Amino acid sequence: MTRVVIIGGSGHVGTYLVPRLVEAGFEVVNVTRGERAPYQPHAAWTAVETVIADREAEDAAGTFGQRIAALKPDIVIDMICFTLPSAQQLVEALRGRVRHFLHTGTIWVHGPSVAVPTPETAKRRPFGDYGVQKAAIEAYLMAEAQRNGFPATIVHPGHIVGRGWAPLNPAGHFDPAVFSALARGEELLLPNFGLETVHHVHADDVAQMFMKAIANWGVSVGEAYHTVSPQAVTLRGYAEAVSSWFGREAKLAYLPWEEWKQRHSAAIVEQTYDHIAHSPSCSIEKAQRHLGYQPRYNSLEGVRDAVDWLINEGVVTP
C-alpha cells in the first residue's frame, strides 16, 4: 500500500483531501499540531494515523525533516510550508527517499496582473512577505526538480472556501457581516468602482488537484499548477450575486481607496488592500490540459456552499 504523509492535514484542504486519499486506497499519516479537528467530520479519519508535531519548533531545532523521513513515506504532501529554509530542510531530508513531493503554494506568487487570465509562466513579481517567501520556495523546488531530479509538484490555490470557515467576502476581507448586510438589503460600500477581482476555489477542488497530480505523477513532477475556479469575479459582480441569493438587488456605493480605508479598521484595510492590490485572475488551462482538472465549483458556487454553512451556524443572519 502506498504511504502518504500529509503535513497539516487537518486544515481547510486536508478536510477534503484526507478522505479522498483514504477512499482511493492510500495509507495516510496526518502530521498535525493536534490543536484542531477537521472542519467537517468523515468516517475516513478513523483509518488515518495521526502524528503530533510542532513544525515551527522542530524546524528551528533542525529536526523536522528527519521526523518526516522517519515516517517512511512514499508520497509527502506539505500543506503548511511558509519559508525557504523550512522547505530546504524537508527536501534535504527526503532527497532520494520519496516518490513524489507535493507542495501547497499560492497564487500570491504573482503580483499585479499584466494580461489575464494569468498563466503559470508569467514573470513572478510578488509583494508582501507571504508572496515573496512562497515565490522563493517555488523557485527552489522547481530548480530541484528540473536540475536534480527531486520529484516536486506545486499546487497554487486561490482564495480557499468551503464549509467550516468564513470565505473572502465581496468587500475583499473576511468579516462575515458583509454577507448578512447583503442578505438584509443594506448598503455595502466598496473601494474604487468595485472592479478589482478575487479568485476563489473550493477546498474540495484543491483536493481534486492533489489527487490528479498524484495520479499523473509522470506529467506533474517539475510543474506548478494554478488551482482556482474557472473564472475570477469582480467585487461588484460578487456582491450583486450574493444579494440575488436572498431575492434582493444589491445596494452598492463606492469610494476612492484613500477615503474607503478611513471608514474601516486597520485589520480590514490590510486584508482588502492585499486582495485588491493583487486582483488575481489566473488560468487553469495548463492543469486542464496536463491533468484533466475540472473544478466542481465555480467561484460563486464555492462561496454559496460556505455561506449556507454560515447561515446554519447563525453566523450570517438574513
Residue range 201-223, pLDDT digits in tens? 999 999 999 999 999 999 999 99
What's the rounded mean pLDDT across residues 282-302? 98
CATH of the domain at 235: 3.90.25
On whether both 155 and 189 belong to a single domain, the answer is no
On whether both 63 and 104 belong to a single domain, the answer is yes
- Which comes out higher in pLDDT, residue 311 or 34? 311
Q: Give me the pLDDT at residue 34, please.
A: 82
Per the structure, the complete domain to which residue 220 belongs is given by: 3-160+200-227
pLDDT of 182 above 80:
yes
Does residue 285 lie in a domain region? Answer: no
Amino acid sitting at position 75: I
pLDDT band, residue 39 (cuts 50/70/90): confident
Q: Give me the pLDDT at residue 32, please.
A: 95
pTM: 0.97
Does residue 59 lie in a domain region? Answer: yes
Q: Give me the pLDDT at residue 35, please.
A: 72
Does residue 38 lie in a domain region? Answer: yes
On whether both 107 and 143 belong to a single domain, the answer is yes
On whether both 182 and 170 belong to a single domain, the answer is yes
Q: Give me the pLDDT at residue 289, please.
A: 98
Q: Give me the pLDDT at residue 37, please.
A: 83
Q: Give me the pLDDT at residue 278, please.
A: 98
Does residue 118 lie in a domain region? Answer: yes
CATH of the domain at 61: 3.40.50.720
pLDDT of 144 above 80:
yes
On whether both 204 and 250 belong to a single domain, the answer is no
On whether both 213 and 304 belong to a single domain, the answer is no
On whether both 148 and 9 belong to a single domain, the answer is yes
Express each pLDDT in 97-118 by its tens digit: 999 999 999 999 999 999 999 9
Domain count, the chain: 2
**What is the overall mean pLDDT for the chain?**
97
Does residue 214 lie in a domain region? Answer: yes
Does residue 79 lie in a domain region? Answer: yes
Does residue 289 lie in a domain region? Answer: no
On whether both 153 and 209 belong to a single domain, the answer is yes
On whether both 179 and 46 belong to a single domain, the answer is no
Express each pLDDT in 226-260 by its tens digit: 999 999 999 999 999 999 999 999 999 999 999 99
Q: Give me the pLDDT at residue 105, please.
A: 98
186, 162 in Cβ contact below 8 A? no
Task: Among 37-51, 59-73, 193-207, name the one with the lowest average pLDDT.
Answer: 37-51
pLDDT band, residue 8 (cuts 50/70/90): very high
On whether both 154 and 238 belong to a single domain, the answer is no
Does residue 287 lie in a domain region? Answer: no
On whether both 66 and 184 belong to a single domain, the answer is no
Q: Give me the pLDDT at residue 29, please.
A: 98
On whether both 35 and 135 belong to a single domain, the answer is yes
